[in-house]
Structures are given as structure tokens and as C-alpha cells.
Amino acid sequence: MKARIFQVDAFTTTRFAGNPAAVMLMDRFPVDSTMQAIADENNLAETAFLVPDNGDYQLRWFTPKVEVPLCGHATLASGSVVMERLEIGRRKVTFQSASGPLPVSRTDTGSYVLDFPIRPSEPVAGPVGLANALGAEPIEVYGNAFNYMAILEDEAAVRGLRPDFATIAAYDRPGVIVTARGSAPYDFVSRYFAPAKGVPEDPVTGAAHTMLAPYWARQLGKTEFRAFQASRRGGEIRCRLTGARIMLEGNCVFYLEGTAEV
């Protein structure tokens, strides 16, 4: 079977920044082991698999190690593939996923807006040794079923982390978000470590912001944010909370497209 493949840098206006995702258009989903092997071969944080479905698309995401229930940057990239390559001129698409229907729309300026469910969190004790694993002492730790989130003293602490990935990989949550207030023009900054999923540090993580934004809404008393993920590649996400949903806005830049032999 042959499949069209695209590689897109998401949450950036600059090629070689943001978070690269592979997007593959399939007639049907292959068996899980094949999709996992493809994601491992692509060796990116995420590979998105699209299957046409009654005018929209089914969507699944795989890291090099596991399938995940929600992925922001690869959904943003998938939206750009649909609206800029597969159906030029289309302005909105809804992806059917393990996290329910996920609408993606294109703005008049060419950015894309994801409509995602929020992931609330609450204060937790955090895993033993988290400060040593991060190399910084958290002010607070929050958690939900998906991640721990460590609140650090300032932006410099977030940017200066040199985490112990082997320790973090053994935690009982798939990943650790770290965050602090940002300096202008950003309301907050973050980084995301998920070695257990085969992604030691994710460059820009839309799904992490479904946990970050509700926290910062309480701290800052606002519902709209400009956020920066301070990985080596870096990327910007504009966030807007609307009840139990969050709008995540960003840009995409195409890097390559071709055909894969599956």
C-alpha cells in the first residue's frame, strides 16, 4: 500500500522551528503494529494517520513508542494538510478521535484554531525525587490522569532545566509539564518531558496547554493567553478558554511531502 505523507512544522511561522509532525493519508487504518512501526520509522514526536470519513476524517496519533489519546501539534498539522493540500480552500474540518470530535478551523490570516477539551488538574504531592529529576524545586505540583505539572519560580528556571529522563520515564504519569510566568509578550512559558512515550522533550505540545491554561486562568484571572514553549526549537500557542473547551491557535509551515511505501 502507498500512502501520501507530509511533514509539517506546527505552532511556528518559521521552518525548522515549532514541532514537526508527520501526517499520513490512508484509505483505512492499518493494524496497530504497522502504524507503530511507521511512527518509529518517521522518528518524530508524533505521526498522525488520517482516514476519510463522511466528508471529514478519522484521526489517530502515534509517538515512536505508543499511541496517544490526544495530540495538539499533529492535529494542527493535519488541519493544514486537509485545507492546504487535500481540499484547497476548505476552512474547517472535524477529526473524529479517541478524545471525541476535534474541530479545526482556518482563520483569515492563515493560522489554525484547534477546539479541544480542557484537562483540569488539582494539587498533588508529586512523585518522590521530582526536584532532583528536574534539577529545580517546584513551588507546587499539580496532576491529573495524563501528566504531572510542576510550577517553578520563574522563566529562567524553566529554560535552564537539564532533566533526568530515566527517572521521569519511571513515573506513574506519562509526562511532566513544567511552567512559570513568562516575560512580555508571553503570559506563561512551559516545557514538556515525556520519555516514557518515546519523546524525551516535546518541542511544542498543544495537549499540555489543555492543562496549563486552566491553571493560569486561576492565577492570572483571565481566559486568553499568549504562551511560549521554551524547548530548543520553541513555539508559540495562543490560548482561549471557553467553558470546558480551549481554543489553541497557531501556524504551520510545510517541510516535505511525498509517498510512503507501507
Task: Give one DSSP letter per residue of 134-173, joined into a string.
Answer: HTS--SEEEE-SSEEEEE-SSHHHHHT----HHHHHTSSS
CA-CA distances (angstroms) from residue 220 to 103, 148, 188, 216? 27, 20, 10, 6
Catalytic site residue from 41, 46, 67, 201: 46
Q: Which DSSP string do the residues of 31-53 spell out, in sequence order?
A: -HHHHHHHHHHHTSSEEEEEEEE
Pairwise CA distance, residues 260 & 5, whole Å: 6
Does residue 155 carry a catalytic annotation? no
Nearest to 157 by CA among 176, 179, 142: 179
The cell numbers describing 7, all together, are 511533514
Cα separation of 135 and 133, whole Å?
Answer: 6
Half-sphere exposure of 251 toward its Cβ, with a 13 Å CA cutoff?
13
Beta carbons of 117 and 182 less than 8 angstroms apart: no
Residues designated catalytic: 46
